[in-house]
Structure 1
Amino acid sequence: MPVKAALMALAIGASYSASAAYTSFADAYSAYQQSLAGIDKVDIAVKARQAFELGKQEYAADSANYAALMMNYANAIAATTMSGGQSGKLCIESSQRVAEGAQPSEKLSTFDACSSEHLRQQAFELYHQALQIYQQQYGDKALETIDPLLGMAQTTELEQEKKYFSFDAINVAEKHGDALTLAATQLAAYKLLHRAKYYLHNTNKVDNLALDALKTYRNNAPANSFEVVDAELTVAKLHLEKKQYDDAEPLFQDVIKQLDVLPYSHPYALTAHALLVKLYQEADASEKATLHCKAIGQATPWDDNQQPAPLYSQAPLYPILYARQHKAGSVELAFTIDENGTVQNPQVVNVTGGERFADEAITALKQWRYAPKFENGKAVAAQSSLKLDFKLDGR
């Protein structure tokens, strides 16, 4: 997403540093900022909640600074709901902090609703409230409205709203005429819409959002900027999904090359390696696939003691018979992530709704790739688990 809210949040931190009266909020907000340097989405969400709650005591409910805190919290919640199993971990983390005798300010991190669905709804409402504040403060088509519009598109359960909010954000960006802002908005909208039903009947229109964004970044941003890398990775995935291997391969390779200057293996570089494994396997180039598989296992971690992190996930197919019968269900799986980030020995722990859900879940999970677990800087095998839900739209 564009970073207007994040810039506003930085201003909040600066305004508090000068006054001892705001020490408790300053500490909470500082902890939140520090958490952003890591990859623990649950920790970020807990700390964003603390800063948001304490910020209520200092800012008017209709102020832009209060809306910025609201956006930070909504973004953190949304990030956990987009990662398999993270919403459950968020609830466990919050409960443990209270059970272990946390300080009063930490108890604010106890979440009112712990299911992924409830957290998504909570994030949507926060985005909606922030949008209303920004519209009141700056106007209906102000640049500040782009972030909450995209957030609402991400967290709404209604397909029509996902399209409406995404293109409303694009229209705002177009009105202001800044090429890079428009590119950022187009790329964010593409990521939201290419998995939506709208994409099925408007494929070219949605794909062009990503293609246009990449073209704009290449013409207007530094060649080694993160925006270019992000756009290249997104468009490479687009080409891979369409089995346009000749278009996808050089983009993945360039992502790896651009990030190779870092002292650690960036998650985007590892994702590019993982998807090149998939590309070469599909193209019957097993030797090349093996090289990139080994590259993941030989990665330099950003933390010497690092938990596995998903790089690529494949959604399971919905069994046709179950879809016709309007069946829903879920599958809980346990598995090993080996030193190369490959899923090994997936086992069904529990299944509801029918055994065919389990078959499709295992088939999909075998395609997943992870950044492996690291202990003392060395990749090691790790045990993991997740729950995959099968739910038809509108049910």
Structure 2
Amino acid sequence: MRKSTYGTVAALILCSASVFASQNTQQEFNQAYQAYQHAVESNNYTDKYELAKKAYLLGQKVYGKGQQNTLNLASNYAESMPDDRKKEQVALYREIVIATEKLYNTQSPQLIDPLLSLAKSLVESGKRSAWHTHIEHALKIAKYSEDIVLESKVNFEAAKILFTSREHYRKAKQYLKRTDEINITHLPVDSLHRLEVDMWVAAYEAGRKRHNAAIARLTNVVDVFDNNLDFEHPYELFAHSRLVVAYERTGDREAATKHCIAIAHMRPWNDNMEQTPLYRQEPKYPMRAAKMGREGSVQLEFTVTPSGFVEDIMILNPEQGKAFQNASIKALKQWRYAPKFVDGVAVPATSSVQLDFRLRR
């Protein structure tokens, strides 16, 4: 939710000039804000923080304290703060909430983003229950707005905030369940929001080792894209990749093959890059080597079959001990890959990997 809000703000800010700011201040602000946007686009987190702060301080002079553009700049500044400034971040989000209530009212939809941001910051700060009031306030606003999609999205944001903490896992599950109930009742099957929630529900089911339930959800996502949507989307790729994992964990390797091949069509093989497995098992550390404090690395070359299985494994550094070699081969045989396609046909392809055996110190 916040991303879409800030995306709108970015378009508004620079075309809003204030009669109260001098021309020099306005120009300095424009430069600072443009530099901030560039830092965001280039993932330069250090500059992003400093420039967000500068834009916020200048923005107060350009737009005036307590105005919506200034509050948007304050949100950008708060969001950019590093982890060691959580106390300062919480305080600024509180100021934004109070100012937004004053600018609108205590039940304005404009409050939802600031309330959720404050709740998120409190959870990340380790505050045990302070977040609850703010999430419930946001949910109340969404519910009484009679916008069912908004209510679903706020529940979903609440779930995502709380899933980051084991302490709040049960409450997060409740918010996710409510989101899912709203979506099933009110949203079309091809709603991207509903599909995203389906994947979160699938991840929750997989985490509880309910792999068949996860498979059902993920299959639904794939079917929706196949039957209702005529474009590729990261959700579809993600669903296929998680289906490979789910089927492998249930022992149905052949069912996983369909999704290995689907991913290969969506993400072509690149000979210049090391291939990333869709499913992998970590090798078991040889007990004798562990007791002796021995470490090692095994380099392997292998063939990825047209069905995405691993065959013809060859050790490239045979000087490594047999125990490490055998453990590596046993694990690698369970891995799955997206096969290589040439002229529309899946073909065998060679890849390689290094498996490291390191003891915790």
Shorter-chain TM range is: 0.5 to 0.7
* C-alpha separation in 2, matches of 1:381 and 1:72: 43
Bigger radius of gyration, 1 or 2?
A: 2
Amino acid at match of 1:73: Y
Per-residue CA deviations over 1:362-393 (Å, capped at 9, x if unaligned) read xxxxxxxxxxxxxxxxxx9999xxxxxxxxxx
Per-residue CA deviations over 1:69-90 (Å, capped at 9, x if unaligned) read 111233344xxxxxxxxxxxxx
Per-residue CA deviations over 1:18-65 (Å, capped at 9, x if unaligned) read 9975333234434544666x5837378445445334323323222221
Deviation for aligned residue 1:244: 3.3
2:14 matched residue in structure 1:
13
Q: 1:212 to 1:284 in 2, by over 3 A?
A: same
Q: 1:130 to 1:17 in 2, by over 3 A?
A: closer
* C-alpha separation in 2, matches of 1:177 and 1:279: 38
2:59 matched residue in structure 1:
55
Amino acid at match of 1:62: G
SS in 2 for 1:275: helix
1:26 matched residue in structure 2:
30
Root mean square deviation, CA, Å: 4.4
Amino acid at match of 2:242: L
Q: 1:217 to 1:235 in 2, by over 3 A?
A: farther
Single out whichever of 27-36 and 159-168 deviates more from structure 2. Answer: 27-36
SS in 2 for 1:235: helix
2:200 matched residue in structure 1:
234
* C-alpha separation in 1, matches of 2:11 and 2:150: 19
Amino acid at match of 1:40: N
* C-alpha separation in 2, matches of 1:53 and 1:207: 38
Q: Which structure ranks higher in relative contact order (CA pairs < 8 Å, sequence separation ≥ 6)?
A: 1
Tell me if structure 2 keeps the 8 A contact 1:162–1:193: no
Amino acid at match of 1:15: S
Tell me if structure 2 keeps the 8 A contact 1:149–1:166: yes
TM-score, normalised with respect to structure 2: 0.59
* C-alpha separation in 2, matches of 1:285 and 1:17: 64
Deviation for aligned residue 1:294: 7.5
* C-alpha separation in 2, matches of 1:67 and 1:272: 38
Amino acid at match of 1:215: I
SS in 1 for 2:213: helix
- Tell me which of 91, 109, 121 is aligned to 1:125: 91
- Tell me which of 116, 128, 134 is aligned to 1:165: 134
Per-residue CA deviations over 1:307-352 (Å, capped at 9, x if unaligned) read xxxx99xxxxxxxxxxxxxxxxxxxxxxxxxxx9xxxxxxxxxxxx
* C-alpha separation in 2, matches of 1:224 and 1:44: 39
- Tell me which of 42, 45, 55 is aligned to 2:45: 42
TM-score, normalised with respect to structure 1: 0.54
SS in 2 for 1:15: coil
Tell me if structure 2 keeps the 8 A contact 1:193–1:206: no
Q: 1:44 to 1:297 in 2, by over 3 A?
A: farther
Q: 1:28 to 1:285 in 2, by over 3 A?
A: farther
- Tell me which of 105, 109, 114 is aligned to 1:139: 105
Deviation for aligned residue 1:151: 0.8
Per-residue CA deviations over 1:205-232 (Å, capped at 9, x if unaligned) read 334233134336624xxx5454233222
* C-alpha separation in 1, matches of 2:71 and 2:78: 10
* C-alpha separation in 1, matches of 2:238 and 2:173: 25
Identity within the alignment, %: 24
Structure 1: unaligned runs, 5 residues or longer: 78-113, 313-339, 341-379, 384-395
Tell me if structure 1 keeps the 8 A contact 2:155–2:176: no
1:184 aligns with 2:145: no
Deviation for aligned residue 1:154: 1.0
Q: 1:159 to 1:298 in 2, by over 3 A?
A: farther
Deviation for aligned residue 1:141: 2.1
Deviation for aligned residue 1:129: 1.6
Tell me if structure 1 keeps the 8 A contact 2:159–2:171: no
SS in 2 for 1:56: helix
- Tell me which of 286, 291, 294 is aligned to 2:253: 286
Q: 1:161 to 1:254 in 2, by over 3 A?
A: same
Deviation for aligned residue 1:14: 2.6
1:393 matched residue in structure 2:
none
> How many residues of Structure 1 are paired with residues of Structure 2 in the alignment?
269
Structure 2: unaligned runs, 5 residues or longer: 280-303, 305-350, 355-361
* C-alpha separation in 2, matches of 1:298 and 1:49: 45
Deviation for aligned residue 1:160: 0.7
Residues 216-227 of structure 1 mapped to structure 2, 5 A cutoff = 218-219=187-188, 224-227=190-193
Deviation for aligned residue 1:175: 2.3
Amino acid at match of 1:152: L
